[in-house]
Each structure stands twice: as structure tokens, then as C-alpha cells.
Structure 1
Amino acid sequence: MPTFTDGQPVIVALPTEDRRKSHDFYTALGLKATGEPGGDGLPEPLQFEVNAGLRLMFVPPGGFGWVTNNRPTASGEQTECLLGLPVGSPRDVDTVVGTARQAGGTIVMEPAQQPWGYSAVFADPDDHLWQVTAG
């Protein structure tokens, strides 16, 4: 069994068509971008710290294809994964979803009580799906 590095965050890389739009959307959600500014004034690579153990990294299609040997990515009509975001209370679910809506996200499932908790799903500007849940 390999030894994974302790203390280093897991990085989830997602393709983005528009770095500025991704930056503005995730900043509006309250996430902090990390790194030194690139030529466009945004951190390069564009990463957000979700918590001490997780970072999101947004990569333009050319760079994403370079790393994945040009494997196709899912279109906006396909779902390849659902990212889960646990929050502390139903009110926090409502707040995150409201903020996502105001920042240009698409609400896929309005906040409601589900068997697994109070939950909602939204899509970011690149159609990546987020399920926000208060257990």
C-alpha cells in the first residue's frame, strides 16, 4: 500500500471555460483563491481552499487536455460527478444556494428535506454540480 502525504490537501481539478467567471463565482461563495497572480491577474494555477484538506483547481480546456492526454471532458448535458459540500445547518444550505444563485449558478434541486438531510444541488458556471447538505 502506498503512503499518501499527510498534511497535504487533496486537489480536485475541474475544467473551466472561463477562469474569471470561475474566480468570481467561487469568491462570491466565500472561498479564498490561493497563489501568485498570473498574466490575467488571477492566481495561477487558479485554486481555492475549501478547507485544510481540500482544494479546488480550475484548469482551462487546453491545460486540462494536456494533463489528461486530450481525453474528452463531459459536456454541460452530462454529469461525471457530484461534489458534496457539508454545512452546519439547513440555514447554511439556504445561504449557500442563495449565494450561488446570485453569483450566476443554476439551481438544479431547490433546498428541501431529503432522507439523508436538508439538501440542495446547484451547478457552477461550467456546469459542475455541487450538493450542499446539512445532516
Structure 2
Amino acid sequence: MSMMMFLNLPVTDLERSKKFYVDLGFEVNPQFTDDSAACIVLDDGHLYVMLLTHDSYARFTSKSIVDSTTASEGIFSISADDRAGVDALADRALAVGGSFSYEPQDMGFMYSRSFQDPDGHLWESVHMDLSAVPQHLPELPNAAEGSVSPPR
């Protein structure tokens, strides 16, 4: 049995957010889309992003909604076939309303670029060459210590 994953994200402006993801090249599944939610198809049959108005999102949790423009709730990574694919998605995100997050990270075997959607949710486009992964992973940069370039 194959599994499906739905990533639920609260958004402040559903139409703006929906447009951002469509402009990135993803499709909307109308079956699960209305005036309080939009289902964005990342990988048909497997991976979806549910954009939910705050009222709609609040029906699923008693926890407060994180202000993703000032706090991190997670980093959501989308794989690309190659480095050019990483750059293409990140460049497209910046061109259609996303914002810069961090400088590209190049570890040789892994290359990534980060961006934020209009609500500040952190996304990363990443390519990993599994055949080149070292036996012992190198130490990763630490944003809290200033070794990762902060947002511009």
C-alpha cells in the first residue's frame, strides 16, 4: 500500500497563497479546495500541501498558530533531480512572491537553496547525490551561531 502525506499549513490570505504555489508550477486539486482550504498537489497520489485559513486550521488543533514570519515551525524540503532543478525552483519561488531565506548550501554530495512562501513557511529545494554521501557526514552550519547567512 502506498502512503499519502498531507502537509497542513495555516495561511493568512488563501488566494495569495494558492496563486504562489500555482505559479511555482503545482496544481490545485479542486476536490479538496473551497473558500477555506486549497489542496496543492506536489506529487499526485503521494504528497499534498493543504493551505488552510486560520479559522479552518484551528478546527484541527487546540494549539496556537505559529507566526511563521517570526518563528520556525519546520523546514519543508522538496527534492530536485539535479542542481539546476534546485536553482530553478528557488529562482521561480523568488520571482513569484517568495522571499529569500538563506544562501545556497553546497556540501558536495548535497546542494540546497531555501526560500519562504508568502506566509513565511520555510521551504528548501534540495538535490542529493546518494552515491557521493561520505561515510561520516560533515558538520552542518549552525544558523543560531551565525555560520549560515541570515535572511536579507
**TM-score, with structure 1 as normaliser:** 0.84
1:94 aligns with 2:87: yes
Q: Which amino acid aligns with 1:107?
A: F
Alpha-carbon distance between aligned partners in 2 of 1:91 and 1:8, rounded to the nearest angstrom:
29
4+ residue runs of structure 1 moved beyond 3 angstroms? none
CA–CA distance in structure 1, aligned partners of residues 48 and 126 of structure 2: 19
2:39 is aligned with 1:47: yes
Conservation of the 8 A alpha-carbon contact between 1:93 and 1:133: yes
| Contact 1:31/1:50 (8 A) holds in 2 | yes
1:10 aligns with 2:5: yes
Q: Name the counterpart of 1:30.
A: 25
Q: CA deviation at 1:115?
A: 5.3
C-alpha displacement of 1:111 = 2.9
Q: Matched residues in 2 for 1:9 and 1:100: separation? A: 24
- Calculate percent identity across the aligned residue pairs: 23
Compare the two structures and name the one with the higher strand fraction.
1
Q: Deviations over 1:48-105 (max 9, x none)?
A: 1111311100110011112112x11211110011101110111111110111001110
Q: 2:26–2:40: 8 Å Cα contact kept in structure 1?
A: yes
Alignment coverage as a number of residue pairs? 125
Q: Is the 8 A contact 1:94 1:111 kept in 2?
A: no
Structure 1 unaligned blocks of 5 or more: 1-5
Per the alignment, residue 128 of structure 1 pairs with: 121
Matched, 1:73 2:68: no
> Structure 2: which 5+ runs fail to align?
129-152
Rg larger for: 2
- 3-state SS of the aligned residue for 1:11? strand
Larger relative CO (CA 8 A, sep 6+): 1 or 2? Answer: 1
CA apart distance, 1:7: 3.9
